[in-house]
Amino acid sequence: MKASRVMTREVHCVTPEVPLARAWKLMTDLRVRHLPVTFEAKLVGILSDRDLLVRAARTGDGQLSFPELPVGEAMTVNPVAVPSTTPVSKLAALMLEHRVDSLPIVDLEGQLWGLVTSTDLLELLVEPEALNDRLPFTYQVRSAQAAA
């Protein structure tokens, strides 16, 4: 089975200049732990909840506060990314090797096609036969501006 069969296609992205607080709000609203970072339709980084949490401080009322930094200063630059033809077993091996919980799926020009997370791979263990019945469908990459 290839990455194209298990990847999340409707991926919300941010650009490097988005403030950290806005990225955190987007993550919590969407209930995601990773946001690919794109510039001119190309993947340039990935922002994880961990990237944000190490920079956060608690306010007096228990809320999280973030420094006035853009995503570009907190993201992982040039993340490990793979083509959609990558076997699922290779995805798992790369996640373990690089100690990451998501892999962006890109084309030869570096444009984002989707994202495979550790949750996507765990779902294969729960109901692997359900994936065999899925037909391919189109993907849609969304930006933070479209979600706002």
Range of the domain at 108: 3-147
Domain tally for the chain?
Answer: 1
Q: What is the pLDDT, as a whole number, of residue 33?
A: 93
Only one residue has tokens 């209930």, namely: 31
Closest of 103, 108, 148, 137 to residue 10, by C-alpha: 137
Q: And the tokens for 19? A: 């403030």
Q: For residues 123 and 109, give the distance between their C-alpha atoms in angstroms, rounded to a whole number.
A: 29
Only one residue has tokens 């570096």, namely: 110
Q: Domain with 104 in it: what CATH number?
A: 3.10.580.10
Which regions of the chain are under pLDDT 50?
Answer: 133, 135, 137-139
Closest of 109, 113, 104, 88 to residue 10, by C-alpha: 113
Q: For residues 10 and 6, give the distance between their C-alpha atoms in angstroms, rounded to a whole number.
A: 12
pLDDT tens profile 15-39: 999 999 999 999 999 999 999 999 9
pTM for this predicted structure: 0.78
Q: What is the pLDDT, as a whole number, of residue 135?
A: 46
